[in-house]
Chains A and B, each alone.
Chain A
């Protein structure tokens, strides 16, 4: 498996292209903006775009879906039906799916938004706006913050330390370091 990172300059969010080299299939996580570079990477490596994983329905994470659907026919996974209306495969709670012949574990972690989901592929955890390197995702009430914190404790901090967090904004971090240096988690 290979992962390529793309910065969406419009919303300063991170988009990831996950490639299964054996089957030549790819997954895009949070396509906030579609760039020529992203399309070239898919085309020049003769990849089939099998799926799109959406961490939550905010513009900087989903605005590129329309463009991708014009070119490819990926399955779109999100917790909010509104993301691509009838084309969305709605996922609830926690579970496992197979996309691009890769095992993808998903976990619902509401707080930043009610539809926030994190995806784990091998040793990478795509956290969207749930958890960043050194801080939590923003919330609009103290209750949301409490829900977010308890879900992170139960579902993310309980994972093995070798996990690398790939957030929706900002740099990556290992889980080991994320537990030690989170400014809003005291």
Chain B
């Protein structure tokens, strides 16, 4: 899991991509990153084919690849590395992801409804028009994400983290946000309607009311926090 071999080109700090044997199975051979691989087209093709032909994918390293117009419904990903990837028009229902890394990836027009995503990191990723509606998103890292017109409605985000995230026109309606950390998150037109905002942590200092500060001051960066408006 998380096989993150470095590219074998001297001084290259990128992660090497997964390689396959003649039977099409994953190997742990030393390899090149996307920038240095001699025949990138073939390896990309192999990775796409592997994902398409397997329902359970364990320990795949596809960092830096572009995924477009895919249907990943009912697939299971465990211990995979998709950091610095681009996902466009990826649609799925009931996708299961556990212990995967999607750091610094781009999600554009993706539909990941009713997903089950646990113990996964999306830190530094950008989500545009991406839907996680009615998903189980327990203990995931969304630190530093940028989310535009995205939707987490009806999801269980228990113990996830949105530290230093930028959330614009994004909705968390009817979500379980118990123990979710929103420290230093910038929010613009974010809706938490029917979500248990009292159980989430928005500031490291503690509640503005408990500290005797003006509670409205903390909410000035958001127009629809809580059930106001």
Contact = CB atoms under 8 A, between A and B. Distances in A.
| Contact size range, B | 35 or more
Contacts of B143: 133-134, 173, 177, 181
Interface stretch (A24-32, A39-47, A62-70, A156-164): A156-164
Contact of B184 (A5, A173, A177, A183): A183
A84 interface: no
Contacts of B120: 171-172
Interface string B180-217: 01011000000000000000000010000000000000
A114 B123 CA distance: 30
A161 B13 CA distance: 8
Contacts, number: 103
6 contacts: A3-B2, A123-B2, A135-B163, A162-B6, A171-B139, A177-B141
A20 interface: no
A74 B59 CA distance: 27
Given A170-B161, A174-B83, A174-B103, 6 more contacts: A134-B183, A135-B163, A161-B13, A164-B2, A173-B141, A177-B123
Contacts of B59: 2
A176 B84 CA distance: 12
A181 B124 contact: yes
A123 B119 contact: no
Main secondary structure of the interface of B (DSSP, over half): loop
Contact of B4 (A134, A164, A180): A164
Contact of A177 (B4, B15, B98, B124): B124
Contact of A5 (B6, B99, B123, B164): B99
Contacts of B3: 123
Contacts of B140: 171
A147 interface: no
Contacts of B163: 133-135, 181-183
Contacts of B15: 162
Contacts of B119: 5, 7, 14, 171-172
